[in-house]
Structure 1
């Protein structure tokens, strides 16, 4: 097999990460990268090229619903630097999200008391322009997640954070998906760029 490279290019060993810590991202088919043109264009993988840390993509298409059994398994992954929760889109109802999110956080906190947790609400969907119920449901879930994070912060957990997912794709969110739901490469690029400043802050202890 022949590989063409520039004359000035060189091949070297991977220098390794700056830390043994890793970023865990738990979520849906959007996290998984279902409609990216190639694996490297899923937003967790784009982020992994922005930071010299290992990123673990725990995206489960259609199946991530915050089950406590899976939460326990995720809590056993060693050396997390950050946990991102992005599974809202797979929960069948707001009531289900109300049941699982606080318990997910509780289980993870029982193992890692100070590891940052970022709760990420769902992106805006193009179908919302024609489906008022879908819009109201997303707003309801977003409010619940935001209130949950604020309540926990007021209760003494300064390491939990919330990001409003409707800001991830920008004003032209309808141009950033392949089917009105799953991001295209453009959508994933915008998601990564929107999250980068916050992750730079949360991962700062491992980047200096």
Structure 2
């Protein structure tokens, strides 16, 4: 559709999106989702509905000769009373795979989450226009990566030259599921989350199903992954099971088997990598749940503590060390009948020795530098020589 002279407005459709499993058209704009409608109808009360609508790894992708691109968005800004304001989410524009611009939406809807009262209230806000200029008039592939931590309504895409759907990229699709660390928590930018770093190094197309607080072996998540086309699959399991204190060992092992069984229903021979938790001193020997450090909150800082009792491990409570042992054993036993099933110890991505140089700022999530380190190490382990995701695997 034509707008001002020489400009074109292109409807935001699913054909222009990568990394999303659904696009919901609302009265205010198009909302990308990382779970399909059927799975969303199974979501219990809690944070998963918020997390799956935060577009981690989702990007607009198109081909154009445009020198200037404008994107109207309504971003959801989260506010936590008692804590400093969160930084605005970053939108990154890539040209032919290289960073060519970044922008932030300074305003939008406001979601106030009171972590002590357990309440969440949303106040509608205004639209923001992101502008990327000076892109050169050659024909090029453009991607706009959306923030990993801000739900974003896509209102309008405008360019000073026509836009078309890009041709098939020919790259393998990597489907990954994990916790807030996989979603990107505490990374600086959407392309700086560890899965995005690893995907760039491995030259694959990322579908990021990292859900903050919700890597909990939910059957509906497994079914969504089962039904999603993918050439490579990984699941990072552990930290959310511990810090929600959701399961005991008796329930954990069958839940892992059930999750993997469901994945294999749709992907019987796809390379499948099970990744255990990275180092987190809070829960190495102490079970969950995690709790907000009230003292730090009073000082305006967000930190977490472990509220479990190490003595309860003998009765079946889970720690990260227990989960690593269980996952290694489960994969080892299943691999006898499944040669495309693999295991990666999370301590190889971020271990105890790394904590001294790159401590977890809130005692739970890695910072931007640690995300890059984890992504680079994952790429070497998975996509490097002899890795389960190298070209020709599966």
The TM tier, using the shorter chain, reads 0.7 to 0.9
The equivalences for 1:59-208 within 5 A come to: 59-78=210-229, 80-91=230-241, 92-95=246-249, 96-127=251-282, 132-134=285-287, 137-154=319-336, 156-170=337-351, 171-174=353-356, 175-200=358-383, 201-205=387-391
Q: 1:150, CA displacement in angstroms?
A: 0.3
Corresponding residue to 2:169 among 2, 17, 34 = 17
| Residues 119-145 of structure 1 deviation map (CA, whole Å, 9 limit, x = unaligned) | 1110101435xx742597111110100
Give, in whole Å, the separation in 1 of the partners of 2:212 and 2:349: 20
CA contact (8 A) 2:201 2:376 kept: no
Structure 1 residues 113, 125: CA separation in 2 closer, same or farther (over 3 Å shift)?
Answer: same
| Residues 148-181 of structure 1 deviation map (CA, whole Å, 9 limit, x = unaligned) | 0000112x21111111101212422242422121
Structure 1 residues 157, 2: CA separation in 2 closer, same or farther (over 3 Å shift)?
Answer: closer
Give, in whole Å, the separation in 2 of the partners of 1:148 and 1:54: 28
Structure 1 residues 10, 187: CA separation in 2 closer, same or farther (over 3 Å shift)?
Answer: farther
Bigger relative contact order, structure 1 or 2, given CA contacts below 8 A and separation 6+? Answer: 1
Structure 1 residues 173, 93: CA separation in 2 closer, same or farther (over 3 Å shift)?
Answer: farther
> Where in structure 1 do 4 or more consecutive aligned residues deviate above 4 Å?
9-12
Q: 1:185, CA displacement in angstroms?
A: 1.0
Q: 1:205, CA displacement in angstroms?
A: 2.8
Query: Aligned with 2:170: secondary structure?
Result: coil
Q: 1:94, CA displacement in angstroms?
A: 4.4
CA contact (8 A) 1:26 1:85 kept: yes
Structure 2: 5+ residue runs without aligned partners? 1-130, 142-166, 288-309, 314-318
Aligned length: 199
CA contact (8 A) 1:46 1:192 kept: yes
Q: Which has the higher strand share?
A: 2
Q: RMSD of the alignment, in Å? A: 2.5
CA contact (8 A) 1:18 1:206 kept: no
Structure 1 residues 132, 150: CA separation in 2 closer, same or farther (over 3 Å shift)?
Answer: closer
Give, in whole Å, the separation in 2 of the partners of 1:148 and 1:11: 52
Match of 1:52 in 2: 203
TM-score by length of 2: 0.46
CA contact (8 A) 2:197 2:372 kept: yes
